[in-house]
Chain A
Amino acid sequence: MLSVNSNFPEYAVPGAKQVRFEPYADNGGSVVAIAGEDYAVIGADTRLSTGFSIYTREQKKLFKLSERTVLGATGCWCDTLTLTRLLQARMQMYEHEHNKAMTTPAVAQMLSTMLYYKRFFPYYVSNILAGLDADGKGCIYSYDPIGHCERSTYRAGGSAGAQLQPLLDNQIGLKNMQNVTEAPVPKEKALALLKDVFISAAERDIYTGDCIYIIIITANGIQEEKFELRKD
């Protein structure tokens, strides 16, 4: 934005510098989700930080939206809080109107619309939605902050997303490997991989660590698990 100083350089004086208000903060955190034939697992770390300081070591970043849909959200925490609260309200309105719970693909589409509605003042949030679709198959939807949406079977997002995605590409997508046959990922393997992947992230990314919460979504409902990470 223009200021007196840039328009009247002759009046500019060295001295008190005005810091412009920055409405966004990067509060870090990572999310990883893996979908299988009849399940979906999603995990997120519990560190909430800003710059070099940690606000808290026990902030859950997974939101149980329904019996078969879970959202993992990281980025600007104040936007995450607002977005998820709005999302929960919209899902309740849907339920009252249609007398049934929203399916995961329906939530996925609504989230995309809600993000794009704020196209020119976006929610600075990296979202990953995990759940079961109408056929009971595991599904993952990932987003950019302004509402681009893509369905996939595995995804890493958040501050360590760029470090973790290639690892998942190799281990689950079987990319860059020869003589491999594709097979559905069993739930136990997905869980073990999820933990390994977060251990690696905690080693390299200062915004990821402390603990992870993992949610396992199957036709029988939602199960929660906790796993400790390094706390430095």
Chain B
Amino acid sequence: MAFMGDMISPSPLWQNGPSPGAFYNFPGNSNHGPLSHINQDFRAHSAAPITTTTTVIGIKFDKGCVIAADTLGSYGSLARFRDCPRVLKVNDLILLGSGGDYADYQYLRDIIEQKIIDEQCIGDGLQLKPKSLHCWLTRVLYNKRSKMDPLWSNYVVAGIQDGEPFLGAVDKLGTAYEDAAIATGMGAYMATPLLRDVLDKGPLNEESAKALARKCMEVLYYRDARSFPRYQLGVVTAAGVTVEEPTEIGQNWTLAHMIHMK
């Protein structure tokens, strides 16, 4: 909203001059840092993702859900951190996947893990359910975005809610929805069509859902420049939550010579 920006920081009185109501300092001669100079976008540091992760995929099948995500933490275009696990077992009912800023995910993960510990300490045997976590994430992310200080990440919540599979997504604004197939980031463009294509043909079982997730991770690895051949797959069913150790994508580049970029 352009008009809000104008209200918060009016334009300077003259070229390179102070803005109304602000002190003037010469650049490089300021003891007070850039903040005292002009009302610049002082929160800009938190309004951009730094170490980012790419797609996370979620698929619902007849008795549960799978989530898949690779383990790369990118620093811009640099493939900087190669072991950033982001498929999380929250409790026996919930599996959580995340994409976007990795630090923001780690921050929220710590809070969620503490929530689970607090809950276990009550000792009434009740467990957080996926819909509750999904709704909670909606509120946390929406409140942050309303402060113009967003947590720059997407979340896919999978789980078992009263015996039924649940799969939902929340983005950095707090936009929340449920669907049988969810893919965030680049996967929204490349994996969603593959997922919907298969799901339109009928419900999946655990094995076919896992195979589909693996296929999507492979396709994404070939085309998404921020992806990685090492990924994790998590499954949630009524039997509980399992997160596999990272597995490698079997690469095959024999076709590469046939692709001419002219």
Contacts and interface: CB of A to CB of B under 8 A. Distances in A.
Contact of A82 (B47, B48, B174): B174
A50 B192 CA distance: 14
Contact of A1 (B40, B176, B177, B179): B40
A209 B145 CA distance: 29
Interface string B36-64: 00111100100110000000000000000
B19 interface: yes
Nearest to A58: B179
Q: Which of B4, B34, B39, B174 has the most CB of A within 10 A?
A: B174
A19 B233 CA distance: 32
A53 interface: yes
A3 interface: yes
Interface stretch (A21-29, A87-95, A173-181, A182-190): A21-29
A19 B48 contact: yes
A120 B6 CA distance: 13
Contacts of A12: none
Given A8-B27, A53-B189, A78-B142, A2 B40 contact: yes
Contacts of B48: 18-19, 21
B175 A55 contact: yes
A33 B189 CA distance: 34
Interface residues of A, number: 32
A2 B41 contact: yes
Interface in B1-48: 1, 4-5, 8-9, 11-12, 16, 19, 27, 34, 38-41, 44, 47-48
Q: Which of A2, A8, A19, A81 has the most CB of B within 10 A?
A: A2
Contact of B12 (A7, A19, A48, A56): A7
B88 interface: no
B180 to A, nearest CB: 9
Contacts of B27: 8, 11
Contacts of B175: 25, 27, 50, 55, 76-78, 81
A50 B173 CA distance: 12
Contacts of A57: 179
A121 B179 contact: no
Contacts of B19: 2
Contacts of B16: 7-8
A56 B41 contact: no
B177 A59 contact: yes
A25 B177 contact: no
A3 B38 CA distance: 9
Nearest to A1: B5
B38 A121 contact: no
Nearest to A48: B177
Interface string A1-20: 11110011001000010111
Given A7-B12, A120-B4, 14 more contacts: A1-B9, A1-B40, A1-B41, A2-B12, A2-B38, A3-B40, A7-B40, A11-B27, A21-B48, A21-B148, A53-B192, A55-B175, A78-B145, A78-B171
Interface of A: 1-4, 7-8, 11, 16, 18-21, 23-25, 27, 48, 50, 53-59, 76-78, 81-82, 120-121
23 contacts: A2-B12, A2-B41, A8-B16, A21-B48, A21-B145, A21-B150, A23-B146, A50-B175, A53-B188, A55-B169, A55-B175, A55-B177, A56-B177, A56-B178, A76-B173, A78-B145, A78-B171, A78-B174, A78-B175, A81-B138, A81-B142, A82-B174, A121-B4
